[in-house]
Amino acid sequence: MLLSPRFNFLFVHIAKTGGTSVRAALERVRWRDPWYWLMWPCHRMSHLTGHRLGTKFPRHAHAIAAREMLPKSFYDSLFKFAFVRNPWDLQVSSFHHIRRERPHYMQGHDNFADFLRWKFDPERPYQFHLDTSIESQNDYLVDLHDNLIVDFVGRYEQLNEDFATICARIGIPCPELPHRRQATDRRKDYREYYDDETAALVAQHFGKDIERFGYRFDDVGGA
């Protein structure tokens, strides 16, 4: 989550949706925010105490956390935005990310289909990096009654266009998005990774995301 009081925005960062590039671009803007220099020592103190002081929102905090902790008038005045991604493509990206950077979490499930079935197994012990990647994207953006509480939901599939819209709304020149890190060994079309069973598994688990954001398995996109 990225908050800028001067530029009046709140970015809700859902994992694997291009958020790292968005954060990197907007971090440059935050250096011009005088509130940042007051927030920074609080962030450091929060980190050094294991975040026991509660002075910083976690990187992938849900919007409802900000709404509950910030004054209502301030939260309501912020331009709140996030990005979402086709769930089938997101799971392929997550598979390559974990295999590349945290292979010990795979526990021998090196095949995509086997890994996906194991990942969604309700009997599997909880593991933060695995379970974060199967959280509903919708849950990041709604209140307890499933009402959307952000102002703009961009799409990973049109990241540059939607980021330009966000910058125009914030009122800043649109900085270039840093190059998105890509797995060199993944096939571009995420659909090639699935059979009927695994495609249905994702459809069932992410039913709310598919319904709210209108994604379909045969949507073209992903990289």
pLDDT in tens, 19-40: 999 988 997 776 666 556 566 6
Q: Residue 212: in which H helix or E strand, if any?
A: helix 207-213
Q: With cut-offs at 50, 70 and 90, classify the pLDDT of residue 107.
A: confident
- Reading the block at residue 87, the tokens are 């769930």
**Residue 141 maps to a domain:** yes
**Residue 219 maps to a domain:** no
* Pick from 96, 156, 106, 101: nearest CA to 130: 106
Residue 4 has pLDDT above 90, yes or no: no
Percent of the chain with pLDDT over 90: 57
Q: How far apart are CA 150 and CA 147, in angstroms?
A: 9
Residues 184-219 have pLDDT tens digits of 567 779 999 999 999 999 999 999 999 999 999 987
**Residue 222 maps to a domain:** no
Q: How far apart are CA 95 and CA 91, in angstroms?
A: 6
For 169-179, letters b (16+ CB in 10 Å) and e give ebebeeeebee
Token pair 């949507």 in the structure block, residue: 219
**Residue 176 maps to a domain:** yes
**Residue 221 maps to a domain:** no
**Residue 199 maps to a domain:** yes
Give residues with Cβ within 8 angstroms of 51, minimum separation 6.
58
The pLDDT value given to residue 137: 97
- pTM of the prediction? 0.85
For 94-133, letters b (16+ CB in 10 Å) and e give bbbbbbeeeeeebeebeebeebbebbbeeeeeeeeebeeb
Percent of the chain with pLDDT over 70: 83
Compute the C-alpha angle 110/221/102, nearest 5°. 30
Instruction: Give the domain range for residue 21.
Output: 2-213
Report which residue type is found at 155.
R
| Count of domains forming the chain | 1
**Residue 62 maps to a domain:** yes
**Residue 220 maps to a domain:** no
CATH code of 80's domain: 3.40.50
